[in-house]
Amino acid sequence: MKKVLITFLSLACIAGGRFANAGTHVWSGAQGGLWSNPANWSSGGAPSANEAAPVIVQFPSTQSARRESTNNIANLKLDVLGFYGANYHLYGDSSTLTTITLTGSQPPFPYAANLISGYSATNYIDWWLNLVLSTNVSILVGSGATPGLTYTVDASTDLKTWLLIGTAMAASPGGELIFIDPDAPNFPYRFYRFLAP
């Protein structure tokens, strides 16, 4: 009986190893730029497609964090993708057709949105990454907006023609802008800009 129980527990541990626990993954890029390498994450290890929600990926403001990275993990589902530093460049692996889906679920506390760029500088997501925005994905950008001021939100599919799709009021304090685009799933890709009056 003990031998059977120990074997069962061992098999359960081995099978359970395929499914990572829900968690927060903080990027460092210490061993290169590939997301699948656990050594590139300062905490949480590499994210997994089989991970239970909520799944959070953070890119910190730490100067030592590598600014260029390639997601080579297929079919990731994230609840929060947060940029807390500037000048990050995220690429997809064309050989594995990597897709990241932002679920649009209510972000867990203390996160205010599903996609966060909390630094008033540029962060770049390459089209090979194939970022999919589910219905009700919330976007929070910047920390340099004027608190209380209402900004217009424009969207484009080609970075040439812009369409007014709504407004967002800058939070006080801090000046963060939050906007939810319910039409995002209807486009293969979409770009946004926030304009002061």
- pLDDT of amino acid 121: 65
Q: Domain for residue 156, yes or no?
A: yes
How many structural domains does the chain have? 1
Spell out the residues 6+ positions from residue 161 whose beta carbon is closer than 8 angstroms to its own: none
Q: Domain for residue 172, yes or no?
A: yes
Average pLDDT, 10 consecutive residues per value, the chain (197 residues) = 34 33 86 96 94 93 92 93 90 83 86 77 81 78 76 88 90 74 82 83
DSSP-derived secondary structure letter, 72: -
- pLDDT of amino acid 3: 40
Q: Domain for residue 15, yes or no?
A: no
Range of the domain at 132: 20-195
> At CA 82, angle to CA 32 and CA 180, rounded to 5?
145
Task: Read off the pTM.
Answer: 0.71
d(CA 164, CA 150): 14
Q: Domain for residue 113, yes or no?
A: yes
DSSP-derived secondary structure letter, 12: H
Q: Within the chain, where are the H helices?
A: 2-16
